[in-house]
Amino acid sequence: MTRIVALDTTGQFGSLALLEDGAVVEEMLLESPDGFAHVLFPQLERLMLRHGWKYESVTGYAAGAGPGSFTGVRVGLAAVKGLAEASGALAAAVSNLEAMATYGTGAWRAPFYDARRGEIYGAVYDGRLGLHGHEVVARFPAWRASLPSGVELLTPDPSIFGVEATVTPRALAGAIGRLGADRLVDPVGLDANYVRRSDAELNWVDR
């Protein structure tokens, strides 16, 4: 039996999920505009208690690795690293854009979401979730114009961009857990997927 605890804390909306042998036992949406550091573990404790899970029974942990909030990405990765190391389990870091792409059906899939500052995070995947090119941060019109013909757009907020698109859920932990189950590694090796430099870095360069 394989048990995965998955979490996503990369944006205003986050999520938690428990998966057993590839099936989602429960997935819950979290909303915390001021960050997840203070709510993540209490919510996870309640979720695991509700299903009678013990930390020692968990095979591995998976976290959304971004792109997204720098603090949010760090909180999620630090959480799964700490949980995995404490229990001798493995862990995985999964791109949020790839998790979004799992909700598509097209031969070409272009997940994207608001990155603020008038930009989006976006990427292009094929039907087997192979990444083509790189995940990017870009202005939406220019990025959209660069996409292959007939690509399926995927986003949680199509109305913001005025486009027809497959609507992806805000809760991505279940998809992150399914992808992460096949990528479990030593938690020490996990890395973030920032795509864009932090405000601190940008401000330092601008001086």
The whole domain housing 137 covers 104-167
Q: What is the pLDDT of residues 179-195, one digit of tens each?
A: 999 999 999 989 898 88
Number of structural domains, the chain?
A: 2
**For the whole model, what pTM was predicted?**
0.93
Please indicate, yes or no, whether residues 108 and 135 belong to a single structural domain of this protein.
yes
> Strand 131-138 to strand 119-126: parallel, antiparallel, or no bridges (unpaired)?
antiparallel
Distance CA(172)–CA(99), nearest Å, equals 7
CATH number at residue 43: 3.30.420.40
DSSP 151: P
Please indicate, yes or no, whether residues 43 and 56 belong to a single structural domain of this protein.
yes
Q: What is the pLDDT of residues 80-112, one digit of tens each?
A: 999 999 999 999 999 999 999 999 999 999 999
